[in-house]
Structure 1
Amino acid sequence: MNPTLPLAAAEPRPGLRTPFTYTLFRAIWIASLVSNVGTWMQNVAGVWLVTTLTTSALLVALMQTATSLPAFLLSMPAGAVGDLIDRRRLLLFTQGFMAVVALGLGAFTLTGSIRAIDVLGFTFLLGMGAALNGPIWQTVTTELVPRPVLPFAITLNGVSNNIARAIGPALGGLIIAYYSPGWVFVLNGVSFVGTWIVVYKWRREVQNDGGPAENFSGALRAGIRYVQYSPAILAVLVRTFAFSFGASAMWALLSVVVARRLHLQSGSYAVMLSWLGAGAVTGALLIGKIGHRLNLNRRVLLGSLMFVATNLCLALVNSEYWLFPVMFLSGTAWLITMTSFSTSVQLHVPKWVQARVVSMYMLVFQAGMSLGSIVWGELADRATLPLALLIAAGWMLVSLALALPFPMHQPEGLDFSPGEPWSDRLVEEDIDPDDGPVVVMIDYEVNPADQPAFRLAAQHLTRLRLRDGALRAGVFADVSQPTRITEFFYVATWAEHERQHHRFTRDDQQVEAEVRRFHQGETPPRVTHFLAFPRTANVEVAAPPLQVAGSAQ
């Protein structure tokens, strides 16, 4: 199965249905939906099984820890691995690993030889597989559809998760009631096998940026550095944490509101979740209509305002029937907001660092949800439930101010395709990739009247140098020649400098061209490479021994 990436001429403006016209995306989306349903069934069956196997509330509570802890431990390493190893092979490994674990748990359960501690162990292993799989699975979408269709494909992935959230627990509960949790685990394992087969049939083109291979630690540092010097990505991460921290109050306390404040049964809680799921699906349909009218910043602002209202209603409204439409609108706001975050992240990074950036986004989101759940739950226990929800609403309201220092950037018009090779390499001999450090100096001739504008343009270029691998970078003026300005950047090794060449995109070249536009020389800016002691051992010269009065020579 090979997707045809060019957009069809008959559909100049993509919509929500457009991603389904690509065969491979359609196949992977269906397989993902089935797998997500199996995962939600597994969650219900696992908690129920531990509850029946032990009287310890701690062991039951540890099921959530076993599910979420691997994401904290492995998200960022998984992102680095996803950018270093062929993603198709990695997906085959993770899907196969999770299939074996789920089938093994089902076999142990059906034979009656399972213990509560065993369920925790199997759940932790499944969490490890999911943590390794998550960043890579999200970035695969960018290879299945063209860039204009990508926002709708990401939205459909969110629809898949919400449909599974609505269907999975109900199906799992039915199978547990009439058969055994073991059959739920077996079905979950089979769902992974189905996804494995679909990925196996994908004939992915090998991605090769031509640069020197990175090691794991270097790849991890490069991903962190890229986020540090990318204002668009930093803005998404800050806004994601603020939103998930406040919105977690609804997810963490909804069941408590239903049981303790409204004094309703578990059936009412299930109905609330169904309204949430229905609202999320509706949000997916609305994306196609509002996507061209509301930019990402406005979508996030509207979603945050809706969750302000949600927390207020959960704290103050006493009728479940009034809460049903509130849950519906919350589901709509949740999907639109989270889709906006995910779309912005994936459209603001080039392929070489995509999995690493997505993994950091997922880590920030999970941190906001987990920390928020702890804070709002503890506050509800120590004070009152309505007060915790009101403070959460206040947090969401105050967080709206983050739109000023951290605005969401629109991805339209960005071109992250590899730029033309730099023309600054004048080295004829091969250099050992591990040699270094390397200092690159670029001399410009700039009229004094143009230097303030040059300095501003050079600041953007300096940020790109640091983002792509430089440890230090800056611009200096020659005190003896007022028109001479030198840009420098310092890189750890020659291999890392080579990677800088391949990380430069067409958008980055526009920034470089803006800087070079101020150069007034008859020849292009002069580029010089300095290598620390090339092919010469750095040997310290031994200092002469100290002469102590009265000592022998």
Structure 2
Amino acid sequence: AVWTMTTLTGSPTMISLMQAMSSLPLFLFALPAGALADLVNRRRLILIAQAGALLTAAGMALLVHMGMLSQSLLLLATFQLGVAAAFTTPAWQALVPEIVGRAQLAPAIALSGVGYNIARALGPIAGGLLLASFGPAPVFAINALSFVAVIIVMSTGTYIATPRSAQREQMLGAMAAAIRYVRHAPAMRSVLARGGVHIFAAVAPVVLLPIIVHSRDWDASDFGVMMGCYGAGAIFTAIFILPRLRARFTFDQVLFGASLSSSAATLLVAFVPGKILTGAVLLLAGASWLSGLNTFSVASQSVFPNWVRARSSAIYLVVMQGCSALGAVTWGQLTSHSSATTALVVAACGLVVSAILSRLLPISHVETLDLSPSNHWHGHALANEPGPDDGPILITIEYH
């Protein structure tokens, strides 16, 4: 979709808006989606969202085949796919800790990231080759089939999340409770602040890569290979490097190194010549991206209690995707008014700030947090025991 936009227009702003339209729905809808995921059947919610994504992707393929796809329609379709992701992601993230347990949470999130980055590595390569050979319609059609696969898996899976007490809450009350929790949880605020700064700057290479590739007169297959290198770096890191880093270093130490290496890769991608060197730098950029984002994700899950997990995950997504969308627009605008090189240099400086925050706002202590209920409180003494026919009783619990 991003490369299709480069064929429709050469405007850096419009191209960067593709990333913004992908991230904006998570910023707008992740919190209500997270509250909904705590109130309804999560598997059913995922199925409905993926069905909507299927219809959108199929519509994109049809529009391209009919020659009716415009810049506005492409942005709208990207936004609609983002809406589907916004309602899928909090529900899925809330399922993972329940399935694997706290002890296996970090490797489970890393494994999930491996799957995502395998798709991110192989998808652009295959998509770029298909796009160069057959045009965008078959690529969008295959994308639609991928949603069919998700729907089949979620329909036939045997795991169903256990009911939660939050199912009796109202939607607005559930959202308000999540916001109160974050406001009174200093560790969560630190994770959000640092994650937001990091992703705002770290998104620059991915946002500006289509512009860089196009400016060097490379084609769609070259763009696919470059994105494949980015994803391959993330995969290699998730499988071979990150588990060893996690065993040896704290969250803050891993994030300090990830920020500095991401800064170096962002700076280098602006200046290195040739496809081989650019691909090598993007390997480093992908490795740094995975190391940083995975660590922030694990840290965030470590500060979420089960009773508000999906909603807290949604707030995390709101901040991260909102900063990602803001970063995409910022780097696109800076490129329009100056150059991609200038934007990448400024983004590299922002990642140095992210590294400095490892010392100013440490989060390593969240690794040992245990937020499970203690169950040590005493039962309430009732002045008058209600009789069986006294009518319904409403009990309200509010987090402070």
**TM-score over 0.5 for the alignment?**
yes
Of 294, 297, 305, 2:249 maps to 294
- 1:279 to 2:233 alignment: yes
Residue in structure 2 matched with residue 13 of structure 1 by the alignment:
none
* Contact 1:257–1:314 under 8 Å retained in 2: no
Tell me the alpha carbon deviations over residues 418-437 of structure 1, each in whole angstroms, 9 at most, x when there is no partner.
33163252224459999xxx
Q: CA RMSD in A?
A: 3.4
Q: How far apart are the structure 2 equivalents of 1:281 and 1:372?
A: 24
- The Cα of 1:319 is off from its aligned counterpart by 5.8
> Sequence identity, in percent?
34
Given candidates 297, 302, 311, the residue that maps to 1:347 is: 302
Instruction: Tell me the distance in 1 between the aligned counterparts of 2:299 and 2:325.
Output: 23
Cα distance in 2, alignment partners of residues 399 and 180 from structure 1: 40
- What are the superposed Cα offsets for residues 225-261 of structure 1, whole Å, 9 maximum, x if unpaired? 111111221111111111112212322334444555x
- Structure-2 separation of matches of 1:321 and 1:180: 25
Match of 1:265 among 218, 233, 246: 218
Distance, in Å, in 2 between the alignment partners of 1:245 and 1:56 is: 21
| More strand per residue | 1
- Could you tell me which runs of 5 or more consecutive residues in structure 2 were left unpaired when the two chains were aligned: none
- Aligned pairs for 1:184-333 (under 5 A) are 184-210=139-165, 213-258=168-213, 260=215, 263=216, 265-266=218-219, 269-284=223-238, 285-318=240-273, 321-333=276-288
Deviation of the 1:106 alpha carbon = 3.9
Structure 1 residues 429 and 402, CA gap change in structure 2 (3 angstroms): farther
Equivalent AA in structure 1 for residue 228 of structure 2: S
| Contact in 2 for aligned 1:249/1:373 (Cα 8 Å) | yes
Distance across 1 between alignment mates of 2:166 and 2:302: 22
Equivalents in 1 of 2:337, 2:213: separation in Å? 19
Task: State the alpha-carbon separation in 2 of the partners of residues 432 and 390 from structure 1.
Answer: 67
Structure 1: 5+ residue stretches without partners: 1-42, 435-493, 504-553
Query: Is the CA contact 1:76–1:220 (under 8 Å) kept in the aligned structure 2?
Result: yes
Separation in 2, partners of 1:351, 1:289: 28
SS at match of 1:404: helix
Q: 1:8-31: CA deviations, max 9, x gaps? A: xxxxxxxxxxxxxxxxxxxxxxxx
In structure 1, C-alpha distance between the alignment counterparts of 2:354 and 2:41, rounded to whole Å: 39
Larger Rg belongs to? 1
Q: CA deviation at 1:55?
A: 11
- Counterpart in 2 of 1:38? none
C-alpha separation between the residues in 2 aligned to 1:309 and 1:98? 36
State the shift of 1:215 in Å: 0.5
- SS of 1:496's equivalent? coil
Letter in 2 for 1:273: M
Do the aligned partners of 1:236 and 1:341 also contact (CA within 8 Å) in 2?
Answer: yes
Measure, in 2, the Cα distance between the counterparts of 1:175 and 1:226.
47
Does residue 146 of the first structure (1) align with residue 101 of the second (2)?
yes
Q: 1:185 to 1:82 in 2, by over 3 A?
A: same
Residue among 374, 382, 397 paired with 2:352: 397
Aligned to 1:80: 35
Instruction: Assess, with a 3 A threshold, how the Cα gap between structure 1 residues 181 and 269 changes in structure 2: closer, same or farther.
Output: closer
Contact 2:20 2:325 in 1 (8 A): no
Whether contact under 8 Å (2:37, 2:45) holds in the other structure is yes
Give the Cα–Cα distance (whole angstroms) in 2 for the partners of residues 354 and 317 of structure 1: 43
Bigger helix fraction: 2
- Equivalent pair of 1:92/1:196 in contact (CA under 8 Å): yes
SS at 1:397's partner residue? Answer: helix
Q: Distance in 1 between matches of 2:365 and 2:26?
A: 29
Tell me by how many angstroms 1:63 deviates.
5.2
**TM-score, length of structure 1 as denominator length:** 0.63
Q: How far did 1:61 drift?
A: 7.2
CA deviations on 1:201-235 (whole Å, 9 max, x unpaired) are 23334534446811011111111111111122111
The C-alpha deviation readout for 1:386-432, integer Å capped at 9, x for no partner, is 44333322222233332234211344444333331632522244599
Query: Distance between the aligned counterparts of 2:86 and 2:254, measured in 1?
Result: 28
What is the Cα deviation at residue 279 of structure 1? 1.3
Q: Does the CA contact (< 8 Å) of 1:44 and 1:172 recur in 2?
A: no
Shift in Å, 1:193: 2.1
Residue 149 of structure 2 aligns to which amino acid in structure 1?
A: G
Question: Which of the pair has the greater relative contact order for Cα pairs under 8 Å at 6+ separation?
Answer: 2
Looking at structure 2, the residues matched to 242 and 190 of structure 1 have their Cα atoms a distance apart, in angstroms, of 35
On the 8 A contact 1:44/1:169 being kept in 2, the answer is no
Range 391-400 or range 133-142, more displaced: 391-400
- Aligned equivalent of 1:366: 321
